Amino acid sequence: MSLEIAFMQLFNGVSLFTILLLMALGLAIVFGLMGVINMAHGELMALGAYVTYLTALAFQAVAPGAMEIYLFVAIPMAFGVTFLFGYVLEKGFICWFYNRPLDTLLATWGLSLILQQAYRSIFGAQEVSVPLPTWLTGAWEPVDGIQLPLNRIFIIGLTIVVAVSVYLLLYRTRWGLRMRAVTQNRAMSAAVGIDTKKVDARTFALGSGLAGIAGAVFTMVGSTNPGTGQLYIVDSFIVVVFGGVQSLIGTVMSAFAIAQTQTSLEYLLSGSLAKATILLLVIVVLYFRPNGLFAVKQRS
């Protein structure tokens, strides 16, 4: 394999990396805070993708001249709608299942089926896709023989912006402080005055919103159908478990490692064989580091 191919292969892994990272960030935050495994997280991503699609349709109908910039409306819309949806979901549904992990698993799995069916009824079973603005088509050729697709460069930039924002929110704001306190000790957080119910709802909404952004990113590299979320949910879980909950940097590294391994192995082996190999690797790593690759060390 020549150096150019290796480099472009690395870049191919980027779209998977960004989607996995955005998905896993949301999952990890929610799981770390509430111990809730949200099986419907993939459908929240699909919701973000459909919102992006609807925004594109709206632009085409109302302001076709502004299609070049619709993404700058669609991405915040995808975040906002899934954020609100997540907020309502937590208040009306998830909050009944705290401290019952198995029930949560089943309930959110049921929810994921309902959502998939809803998407099928509303948008049909076939794939829908959005047009890419012209400034995102084509590739950048920094040196001869290396072509970097512009849409991938864009989603890397977007993911960096989102990841940095999440970091700043968690580590530089009072809301982040509340979220981290509740993650570390829920009962004590309430006993120092933190409104844990409010933190739960907003955190769940934030995690959902991140899935929505992942959905918006997905539309730039693939076509959406009602089962789109299912494609990524298992991999996102693997990223979270592999990286270790409560470690932002762990999630980033783990998403990168898994996306790159997956993409490179797919180049060499078949898709399902690649997936099986990754699962095997993850199991081996977790055998030696049960709390994930980047588990936070702390005195008990």
Partner 1 sequence: MLRIDKLDVRYGDSKVIQDVTFEVGTQECVALMGRNGMGKTTLLKAIIGMHPSHAGSVRLESVELANLPSYERVRQGLAFVPQGRMIFPLLTVEQNIQAGMENSGGGEIPQYVFDFFPVLHEMRLRKGGNLSGGQQQMLAIARALVSNPKVLILDEPTEGIQPSIIKELARTLNALRKERGFSILVSEQVLSFALEVADRVIVIDRGSFVHEERREQLDEEKVKAFLTV
Residues that bind partner 1 (CB under 8 A): 174, 177-178, 180-181, 184-185, 187-197, 246, 296, 298-299
Q: Which is nearer to partner 1, 43 or 200 (CB)?
A: 200
CB of 166 to partner 1, least distance (A): 17
CA distances from 198 to 44, 181, 220, 253 (A): 21, 13, 34, 30
Specify the residue, 65 or 193, whose C-beta has the smaller distance to partner 1.
193
**Long-range contacts (CB closer than 8 Å, 24 or more residues apart) made by 257-265:** 258/20, 258/282, 259/13, 259/14, 259/16, 259/17, 259/20, 259/21, 260/10, 260/13, 260/17, 262/13, 262/16, 262/235, 263/9, 263/12, 263/13, 263/16, 264/9, 264/13
Q: Report, in Å, the least distance between residue 249 CB and partner 1.
A: 14
Tell me if 119 sits within 8 A of 48, measured CB to CB. no
Q: Write the CA distances from 131 to 30, 122, 207, 248, 297, integer angstroms.
A: 32, 20, 27, 33, 46
Tokens found for residue 84: 């609100």
For partner 1, the closer of residues 225 and 246 by Cβ is 246
Residue closer to partner 1, measured from CB, 125 or 177: 177
Quick one: 100 or 172, whose CB is closer to partner 1?
Answer: 172
Given the complex with partner 1, which of 75 and 179 has the nearer CB atom? Answer: 179
> Which position has the token pair 């989102």?
162
CB of 252 to partner 1, least distance (A): 18
